[in-house]
Amino acid sequence: MKRTAQISKKLTRLCDRLNETAMFISAWLLFLMFLFSCVVIFFRYALVNPISWSSDILMPAFVWMSMLGISVGSRSASHMAVDSLVKLLPPAIQRGFYVATRLLIGSFCAFLVIVGANVTYAARETRWGVLQWTTEFFYVAFPICFFLIFLYCLDDILKIRAVPGE
């Protein structure tokens, strides 16, 4: 158990740093998207000269901000959960449900990482928009963010195993 606790602490620190980084990047992307949207609106309506490549910037930023936001929400457990029935159960069974849920989520995220990596690889030659960026820039957000969620699930499971009496 001591070894599990040490691994859990290290993984928790790593996950916390990754989560803070994801939160920081998401916040900056949201801020920059707001500023760029204001510039785009000004050019379109005040100068009557729309920026043709604006969606080439805003859409990938939105995808990345959304996917990173999903991983941040997963870490803080701020997504919707219906746990009324589970809270009525004894603590030991609640822990079992929690571990089973994390195992299912982690397994699905591992599957999505593999599928997302395959899709990203398949899309490496496809070009998109006026700037002709590769679409892998979009798709790579999915395996990265689902890998983060997988790590967070693993961290949650190790935390429970490190504290056997709780």
Q: What is the pLDDT along the chain (166 residues), one digit of tens a residue?
A: 677 778 888 999 999 999 999 999 999 999 999 999 999 999 999 998 888 888 888 999 999 999 999 999 999 888 777 777 888 889 888 888 889 999 999 999 999 999 999 999 998 888 888 888 888 888 999 999 999 999 999 999 988 876 655 5
What is the pLDDT, as a whole number, of residue 120?
93
Q: How far is CA 2 from CA 5, 151, 155, in A?
A: 5, 20, 15
Residue type at 150 in one-letter notation = F
What is the pLDDT, as a whole number, of residue 89?
86
What is the pLDDT, as a whole number, of residue 21?
96
What is the pLDDT, as a whole number, of residue 137?
84
Which range of residues forms the domain containing residue 50?
Answer: 2-162
At residue 161, φ and ψ (nearest 5 deg) are: -70, -30
- Which of 22, 23, 50 is closest to 37 using CA atoms? 50
User: What H or E segment, with its residue span, contains residue 133?
Assistant: strand 133-134
CB 18 within 8 A of CB 151: yes
What is the pLDDT, as a whole number, of residue 129?
80
The number of distinct structural domains making up the chain is 1
What is the pLDDT, as a whole number, of residue 165?
54
Query: How far is 25 from 64, CA to CA, in rounded Å?
Result: 9
What is the pLDDT, as a whole number, of residue 1?
61
SS3 90: coil
